[in-house]
Amino acid sequence: MDSDRLSALPQAFLHRMKDMLGDDFEPFLAAYEQPRTYGLRVNTAKISCEEFEQIVPFEVKKIPWVSNGYFYNEDVRPSRCALYQAGLYYLQEPSAMTPASRIPVEPGEYVLDMCAAPGGKATAVGSALKGEGLLVANDISTTRARALLRNLELFGIPNLFVANEKPEKMVKNFPEFFHKIILDAPCSGEGMFRKEEALAKDWTPEKSEELSRIQKQLCLNAADMLQPGGQMLYSTCTFAPCEDEQIISWLLRERPELSLISMEDYEGFSTGNPEWGDGNPQLKKCVRIFPHKMQGEGHFLALLQKEGTAGPSAGTSKTSRLAADVRKYMEEFFREIGLKTLDGQEFDWNRVEVRADKVYYLPSVSYNFRGLTFIRNGLYLGNLKKNRFEPAQPLALAFRKNEAEAVISLSVDDPRLERYLKGETLTIEPEEAAHSKGWHLLCVEGYPLGFGKLVNGTLKNKYPAGWRV
């Protein structure tokens, strides 16, 4: 057994786990001998799993309990692959993919991810929305919220509002507004001790008790923002009953309009334990993930539904008055690249908003964001320069395959892709480009990476410095 890993585990934690698991305690400890697992989740808004399997240049293996999840080997560096920079997949620990996979998000819904950074769950639900409805992704930390925005932009999600706000303030803006809410609550992280030993060193029983108070308040906030008939998913990456079953027991008593509902099952899942809560047999509908039962770390999930029927949805976004010259410059650019659709939909000029010299594409849903601190509202399209429109990187990534005519598509093993991602100019053969000059989308296997401007067989690199690898 890995003595280093075991020695890092606090004794109070081990004693409690032994009491909880009984005969399963030794297999649980034995899981610390096993290497951690590595996973990625395919962005099915951009590419199907079948298409992904055909072009991925390294070995992957399906994760059996997440339809678009894959294991990859430890020695692979998938973040260096151009497919990653095209937003075709997100790197995520396999069991951490589970929460977002167990809340049924439909295109057109309004979805909130309350504690969203770095973006694993938000990118998953944003992909499921397929550009329709609204994704509100919030994180109280400004630094983390900016990292969250980067991942959402990488995935090409246009219908977003990235907030940097206290949840209790958001309640005032969004009372009973959302169809679906994900609350992956701040927790003691016991389920990640194998993956991150530093978490074990910082752990104390008192920390769990303090976090449980925070979790209770967040649950109330979420319940107040959930539409009648809506669903919320509560999750943690800890084994502590005071952060898991006991939170759900308390919430069901405080908010009797909520009830637990079953989730899609998997043979490796364990049920919640009523004895670790208040004895309510409904707690068996919760899911626990243990590292000795499946290929992953530790998680807890509970899916709840609010009684009642949702009222009328929010209206569409207000019609935007766009200056004639702004529209002219943007139309010139769109003609040059041969815009067909954006994120699978016709471009809607009513959703374009200009702030100073920056141009944004707002979500199609109108909502009350006054007074909220936010990082981004909508898709960042580009900048207005003297007598022209200059596209931004998020716009490039919002394009799906075959949505623009002016493309230069290179194979995933073409060494020029690495040079492009470093900001270098490229030599392009005449037959490789749609046009002899002008703006082009540089693509990997047809999937957009970023913009470039073709001049005399040379592609001037427009990949932003802050995105380079």
Residue 16 buriedness (CB in 10 A; 0-12 / 13-18 / 19+): middle
Nearest Cα to 212, choosing from 193, 183, 186? 186
Number of continuous H segments (helices) and E segments (strands) in the chain:
15, 23
Torsion, CA 179, CA 185, CA 189, CA 194, rounded to 10:
20
Residues 229, 124: Cα–Cα separation, whole Å: 22
Where helices occur in 288-363 by DSSP H, the ranges are: 324-337
187 is a catalytic site residue: no
In degrees, to the nearest 5, what angle opens at C-alpha 408 toward C-alphas 405 and 414? 155
CB 276 within 8 A of CB 47: no
Question: CB-side exposure of 90: number of CA atoms within 13 Å?
Answer: 30
**What is the total residue count of the chain?**
469
Tally of CB atoms within 10 A around 149: 24
Where helices occur in 256-392 by DSSP H, the ranges are: 324-337
Nearest Cα to 296, choosing from 91, 2, 36, 62? 36
CA–CA distances in Å: residue 209 to residues 9, 137, 204, 212, 297? 18, 27, 9, 5, 22
Q: Return the structure tokens found at 397.
A: 């990534």
Residue with the two structure tokens 């003609």: 335
Residues 244, 277: Cα–Cα separation, whole Å: 8
DSSP 299: E
Q: Which of 187, 237, 286, 443 is catalytic?
A: 237
Question: CB-side exposure of 22: number of CA atoms within 13 Å?
Answer: 1
CA–CA distances in Å: residue 265 to residues 9, 67, 288, 368? 30, 13, 11, 37
CB 362 within 8 A of CB 317: yes
Ordered DSSP codes for 61-114 = EE-TTSTTEEEE-TT--GGGSHHHHTTSEEE--GGGGHHHHTS---TT-EEEET
DSSP 320: P
Point out the residues that are catalytic: 237
